[in-house]
Structure formats: structure tokens, C-alpha cells
Amino acid sequence: MTDTLTRPDARDAMPLSGPRLPQSAPWIVAAVAVVVGVGLGLLLGRGVVVMAILAGLTFVVGITVWAASLEGRRGAVDRLVTSLVWTAFAIALVPLLSLVWTVVSRGFPALSVDFFTFSMRGVIGDAQGGIYHALIGTLLVTLGAAVISIPIGVMTAIYLVEYGVKSRLARAITFLVDVMTGIPSIVAGLFAYALFVLFFGEGIRLGLGGSVALSLLMIPVVVRATEEMLKLVPGELREAAYALGVPKWRTITKVVLPTAMSGIVTGVMLAIARVIGETAPLLIIAGRTDSVNFNLFEDRMTTLPVFIYYSYTQPGVPPGPGVERAWGAALVLIAIVMGLNLLARVIGRAFAPKTGR
């Protein structure tokens, strides 16, 4: 008896793949959904939000029904889940784009050369002022926090991964780091203020105090990022170095850290971006001033978040020039955070281990 499955006509009669929707199907359904959403919204007298919701529902239902009629149940389920994922992504993107648009549209008119080169010293009423003093304060306070946090965080992670594996002290440190990750930022400010009061008395306001408060928020992030990167370093690299007689400390500095440097630097940059926008701890310990202060160890120091807070809550004579300054400073702050994130990616690629021959 001849096996019919081996004949060419049998193979042609039993294709391995069934009918599929065309590649342009999502775009076709999306166009129809937009028309339906806008039409129903106009008939009901609703706004853009209702139109977008109706269009989204029409798209999900339409692509699923079309896939069910042509691709079957499994294809319909796949299209449904894919549509829901894209819908969730679009919903998550709406507030982000709205935030960026609002800050750019309101903050861009305030940007000028004077805005970056003048402080608020002597500014009365609606006179032109700038963020020079707050910009310098932000950079110095954040730099001070990084100088404190990076060595402590990196060395703590090295101990947890390389020296204190399964020890009680390592477990206790890990627990404390987890606790520090969740402490409110204002608590860090209160701690820094209480610490400096012990040495300088009541009413102390120092830029260094702001750096100490921010370092409490940075250290757990640096520890966690460095710890995870060190764990990803293959154990074979360490064993190969030990087999050649290399001491443990030199193996860590010459083999482990260079291998994990890309992730460590990225984690550090993200930690800096996370604390540069903190306001509450700096209100407590760093204070506020309208003058430029280049000395972390002397007197008050204003940062961009504090400048934004006071400019918005004390806008001045209506229509309130402080509000425009606040939006401009917010735009600059967002640009700095975005720049730090991009810099983290560039540095991460630069320090990444070279692959290939």
C-alpha cells in the first residue's frame, strides 16, 4: 500500500500553515477604529478622551473578530493579547507625553541666556531673575552626595558578594539596605538635620547637609546595582585568576570590577538621576538662598527642586513671574535627568566587555 503522505499532491492538499491576516491588517483596523471612534464621539457629543476609548475598543474587537474568522481560535487569542499589550503601552504613554508637552510648552518661553546666567539676588517684583544659583547648588549638592555614596555603596556590594557570602553580617547589611531603599526622603532630611545639629547647633543649614541627606537615598540604589552586577560576573573568571596565584583583592580590582564596570556605572548614574530631583530633605537641611554659593561647607544652598517649590508657592505679583520661572526650572531639571540617563547608556556601552575576536 502506497503512503499517500509522501505523494506531492498529498503535501499540496495539507499545507503546514493556514490562512493569515495580511500584514497591513492592524493598520486597516486602526484606521476604521479611528473613524468609528470619532464618529460615535461626535454623535454623542463627547470629547477627545471618549473618542480615543471608543476607537481603542473598536480596534481590539475588530482585529480579534477578523482573526477569529480567518486564523481560528488560537490566532484570535494571539491577536487579542497583542492588542491588549499595545493598548496598555499606549495608555502608559499618554501621561508621559502629556507631562513632557506641558513642561516644554510652559517652560520653554522662560529659557534665555539671562535665565541661566543670573541668580535671584536683588530681584524684586516681576524683574528678570534666573536659576544660576540653583543650578550651581544642584550640581554641587549632587556631586557631594555622589562622592559620599559611590565608594560606600560599591565597597559594601563587594563585601556582600566577595567576602561576606552567607555570613550573619552580610544578611544584616542586606536587610538594612532593603529598609533604606523604602525610607521616605523627608526622613533622610530629618536625620541629616539631627546629625548636623549635634555639631553646629539648632538652625544649621548647609549644602553639605543636603549631600548627606541625598547620600542616604543613593547608597541603597548603588549597593543593589553593584551587587547584581558583581553576581553576573562568571565564577570561572575568579577561579582562573586564583589558579594563577593572583590574590583575592587583585582579582576583584583587575578582573571582577572591570568586567562589571558597565552595569556599575549605569547603576550609579541612575541613582544620581533618582536623587537630583528630591525636594523635601533639601528644604530641611540645605535651606534656601537667592545668592550663588560655591561652598558646600558654608551657609545655605538652593537647588533646582527647592527653587521650583518656592517659585510656584510664592509667585510674586500677579500674573506671577515666579510661576514662569518654576516651569523653566522644571524643564531644565527634566533635561538634566534625561541627559544623565543618556549618559548612563553611553558609558555603559563604553565600559561593556568587548566581544568577538
Task: Assign residue 297 the CATH number of its domain.
Answer: 1.10.3720.10
Q: How confident is the model at residue 300 (pLDDT cuts 50, 70, 90)?
A: confident
Whether 229 maps to a domain, the answer reads yes
Q: Helix 185-200 and helix 207-231: axis angle, to 10°? A: 130
Give the DSSP letter of residue 298: S
Domain end residue (candidates: 51, 76, 109)? 109
Residues 82, 208: one domain?
Answer: no
Q: What is the pLDDT of residue 142?
A: 92
Q: Which domain holds residue 85?
A: 19-109
Whether 12 maps to a domain, the answer reads no
Q: What is the pLDDT of residue 1?
A: 45
98 vs 336: CA distance, rounded Å: 19
Residues 175, 47: one domain?
Answer: no
Once rounded to an integer, what is the mean pLDDT over residues 285-295?
86
Residues 98, 185: one domain?
Answer: no
Whether 281 maps to a domain, the answer reads yes
Whether 9 maps to a domain, the answer reads no
3-state secondary structure of 5: helix
- Total count of domains within the chain: 2
Query: Is a pLDDT exceeding 50 seen at residue 12?
Result: no
Residues 29, 81: one domain?
Answer: yes
Q: What is the pLDDT of residues 143-174, one digit of tens each?
A: 999 999 999 999 999 999 988 888 889 889 98
Domain end residue (candidates: 109, 135, 161)? 109
Q: What is the pLDDT of residues 225-282, one digit of tens each?
A: 999 999 888 888 888 888 888 888 899 888 888 888 888 888 888 889 888 888 888 8
Lowest-pLDDT choice from 43-47, 130-134, 248-252, 304-308: 43-47
Whether 86 maps to a domain, the answer reads yes
Would the pTM of this model clear 0.75, i.e. be above it?
yes
Buried-state track 3-24, b at ≥16 Cβ within 10 A, e below 16: eeeeeeeeeeeeeeeeeebeee
Residues 100, 180: one domain?
Answer: no
Q: What is the pLDDT of residue 148?
A: 93
Whether 14 maps to a domain, the answer reads no
Once rounded to an integer, what is the mean pLDDT over residues 331-349?
86
Residues 154, 38: one domain?
Answer: no
Q: What is the pLDDT of residue 342?
A: 87
Residues 173, 299: one domain?
Answer: yes
232 half-sphere exposure, CB direction, 13 A CA radius: 16
C-alpha cell of residue 265: 556605572
